[in-house]
Amino acid sequence: MAGVNVVLGAQLKAARALAGWSQGDLAERSGVGRSTIRNFEAGQSTPQLANLQTLQRTLEAAGVEFTNGDAPGVRYLGPPRDTTA
């Protein structure tokens, strides 16, 4: 990971889908509260930067890449790594 970029709620939701994770799965793996994830994805709030970075790193460890530029998005790079160890 070259650096942590600002992640959008829609990116987070798409990244979870690529990883095959529910909001609860991401919350459990990242340690960030499910309500924080739910509210961010719904556009109701913006998490603290530290939580955004944790969410991004957790999903990147699962094989998802966040892309920014003209059109922010996500893409799947490969099989997820075991993040439970």
What's the chain look like in SS3?
CCCCCCCCHHHHHHHHHHHCCCHHHHHHHHCCCHHHHHHHHCCCCCCCHHHHHHHHHHHHHCCEEEECCCCCEEEECCCCCCCCC
Residue 85 is assigned to a structural domain of this protein: no
pLDDT grade for 1, boundaries at 50, 70 and 90 = very low
Give the residue numbers spanning the domain of 29: 9-74
Residue 73 has pLDDT above 90, yes or no: no
Q: Looking at residue 34, which CATH number applies to its domain? A: 1.10.260.40
pLDDT of 44-72, one tens digit each?
A: 999 999 999 999 999 999 999 998 877 78
Q: Give pLDDT, residue 36.
A: 98
Q: Give pLDDT, residue 82.
A: 58
pLDDT of 2-43, one tens digit each?
A: 455 578 999 999 999 999 999 999 999 999 999 999 999 999
